[in-house]
A and B are shown apart, each in its own frame.
Chain A
């Protein structure tokens, strides 16, 4: 994986930490836990480091909805997954002025989950018709909703450092 030292330093400045994960098992190389305050700085950093936004989406779990941002590079094998757990007030800034591609992704997440992205230029329905704001089809019903421990990788007992270093569900929330 091709990542420079200055990139790692800039991450540390934002007090963010990359966790390497097993690519063969997970399909991406590293994950990073973001907060609403660091998201925009992180996105700027990714643009400077020549990453592109593969996709952004959300997963409904208890206690909070998780936003997922995946970045990859055109010229090397590096795929990074950013996770952001929504606060109780549910405030998350847009990154559509940094990665213009996220404009539509954010509108889609607004359609499906009802999450409002602050300062988004045009948060009109994209995929769903107008007037379906209350539908939020990808929110889970109460009996189907799982806690974030239940849908996170559990560190295997006999596995190496990668697995042990993973944040467990409780740390994430």
Chain B
């Protein structure tokens, strides 16, 4: 990879996309060497939102780190809560009551839908279609309202606790969630008519930014990016955690690995999330929403990891304990990091306008990458 300090040919020029650019959705900078409208060499420049979360984890007790987990992927914070709580539970050998696991799955899936709706609106906005985000935000608001009632926040949730969740769900929650499922199913038809069948949209994304299965393996791309390339890899199925093995749901996959396939995968994933929520609500067991946990949670010496399927792919926490209640080292493997690292290989030789479509289809959340 050549270092971008000198322009290699006289008619080429540098273009800075970001750090403040509407289609990077966060402070990401992509340094582009351009030849006319074609990209010769794209290099992402990271770190504008870096907060050294991994060091922060070494400076506080393991339970006190929970709020930080929500401040990485702010668009889908609950899977981050989930992975971290489950990691501490695995290390300390803490049992979680079944009701708590069901609540975790229901709220995580709601959060996943909210995140996909945000992506849906933002992608279309990047491609020049203003209307879809108004529809998708309308639906996303409903989820935020439902989650706000039980978690107390609208975005950076800190709802899960080691051993369960912080508050039980009530009949009102169940009722509103059921009403939302019904509503969103009808809205899918609108999205279909408005966007999925739209010839302008299809021409912008079809065949653009093709990632094949081999590329996913070499870069460690996961989530809808890998599934768009035809790899049926989903941590919820591949390595079931929590109570996901009790539900019947499919893993949508694409064929060509282009931006359109990644779009289709996410749209179909929302339907699958609705199915999971529906089954979980039907089977919701009675009982405590939080198990008994010791006042001071001691982590044994040694390493341990826990992987969950976040909205953007595989999230893995890797923790090294030293026998105290403070993690000795916490590594957070975030999905967008590996997904974005395909960008230079993916976008070399592409039109600038196609870069916007390809990057939008990766569904990046920059604070997650920078941590």
Contacts and interface: CB of A to CB of B under 8 A. Distances in A.
B351 interface: no
B217 A74 contact: yes
Interface in A50-101: 50-55, 57, 59-60, 68, 70, 74-77, 79, 81, 98-101
A98 B221 CA distance: 15
Nearest to B55: A137
Interface string A120-143: 011011111100000001100000
Interface string B309-331: 00000101010111100001101
A127 B301 contact: no
Contacts of A51: 217
Contacts of A146: 322, 328
A100 B345 contact: yes
If over half of B's interface residues share one DSSP class (helix, strand or loop), that class is named, otherwise mixed; here it is mixed
A53 B338 CA distance: 9
B218 A70 contact: no
B367 to A, nearest CB: 12
Interface string B43-54: 000110010101
Interface residues of A, number: 46
A27 B305 contact: yes
B333 A54 contact: yes
A154 B322 CA distance: 11
Given A54-B314, A126-B47, A27 B307 contact: yes
B304 interface: yes
B302 interface: yes
A129 B331 contact: no
Interface string B128-156: 00000000000000000000000000000
Given A74-B233, A126-B46, A52 B216 contact: yes
A151 interface: yes
A74 B187 CA distance: 33
A104 interface: yes
Nearest to A102: B220
Interface residues of B, number: 49
B217 A27 contact: no
Contact of B47 (A81, A98, A101, A128): A128
A154 B220 contact: no
A154 B90 CA distance: 16
A125 B71 CA distance: 23
Interface in A14-59: 24-28, 47, 50-55, 57, 59
A27 B46 contact: no
Instruction: For the complex of A and B, list the 6 residue pairs with the smallest distance between their C-beta atoms, beginning with the closest.
Output: A153-B302, A55-B333, A27-B305, A101-B220, A101-B219, A74-B233
5 contacts: A70-B318, A74-B232, A127-B50, A138-B329, A150-B323
Given A151-B302, A151-B321, 18 more contacts: A26-B302, A50-B217, A54-B314, A54-B333, A55-B318, A59-B303, A74-B238, A81-B303, A100-B345, A101-B220, A125-B47, A127-B50, A127-B371, A128-B47, A129-B47, A137-B52, A153-B301, A154-B301
Interface of B: 1, 3, 46-47, 50, 52, 54-55, 87, 90, 213, 216-222, 226, 231-233, 238-239, 300-307, 314, 316, 318, 320-323, 328-329, 331, 333, 337-338, 341, 345, 370-371
